[in-house]
Chain A
């Protein structure tokens, strides 16, 4: 069966420090991978998505970057964290459905709650 691992669950980092959040998927090949951020009481903001190794699309210009070094590994990074980077970060994966434009369900990791102090 397919599973998604995201770590760490919580993280407290000082302003200006680097960040690396890792997400790995098991049990599927060539998934679409996503990074989202959710501020307290707000909706999900899509940060990055990837349809293949080395292919990263950024939705929002910001202090963050993403990489996909392997088919089932997605990494979210920052060189210098800002206070505004605090939030709940979620990794997700999905695969295309059988229909021409359909999408199977997306599966989410447990999330990382990042607090920048």
Chain B
């Protein structure tokens, strides 16, 4: 299972775009990249998943370079309610969550 590395924490002001990068140097050919969001006292919630290039949904965008050794979750115009821990997962089985990135959005 590919190991991932993310920043421990990030701060941002409301309305700004936030980019969280995850490194996964030993990603396997068939591995997908998935991001989850977790609020306190709740289980993680799926945000977005991708394999290569760019994926966008109503919540976020995911950028994956050609070598796929990293990925960047982009949250457009964050609000206070986006304060949470964000996890990057790579691969299939089992679902192992790292320490994640604690995003704090400031008014």
Instruction: Give A residues with C-beta under 8 Å from B.
Output: 32, 34, 36, 42-44, 46, 49, 51, 57, 59, 88, 90, 92, 94, 96-97, 99-103, 105-111, 113
CB-nearest residue of chain A relative to B92? A101
Residue of B nearest to A103 (CB): B92
Task: Tell me the bound Cα distance from A57 to B94 in angstroms.
Answer: 9
Residues of B near any A CB (own CB < 8 A): 28, 30-32, 34, 36, 38, 41-46, 49, 51, 85, 87, 91-100
| Contact call A102/B44, Cβ cutoff below 8 A | no
Q: Are A109 and B92 in contact (CB under 8 A)?
A: no
Q: How far is the CA of A57 from the CA of B95 in the complex (A)?
A: 12
Supply 6 further A-B pairs (C-beta < 8 A) apart from A32-B95, A101-B92: A46-B95, A49-B94, A101-B31, A102-B92, A103-B95, A107-B46
A-B contact count (CB 8 A): 74
Tell me if A111 and B43 are in contact (CB < 8 A).
Answer: yes
Complex Cα distance, B42 from A109, in Å, reads 8
* Residues on B with beta carbons closer than 8 Å to the beta carbon of A110: 42-43
CB-contact partner of A108 in B32, B44, B51, B96, under 8 A? B44
A58 to chain B, nearest CB (A): 11
Q: How far is the CB of B3 from chain A (nearest CB, A)?
A: 13
| A residues less than 8 Å from B95 (CB atoms) | 32, 34, 46, 49, 92, 94, 103, 106
With the chains together, A96 CA to B91 CA distance in Å?
11
Please give, as numbers and ranges, the residues of chain B lying within 8 Å of A88 by CB-CB distance. Answer: 41
| B32 adjacent to A103 (CB under 8 Å) | yes
> Does the CB pair B32–A102 fall under 8 Å?
yes
**Could you say which residues of chain A place their CB within 8 Å of the CB of B51?**
99, 102
Q: Would you call B99 and A43 a contact (CB within 8 A)? A: yes
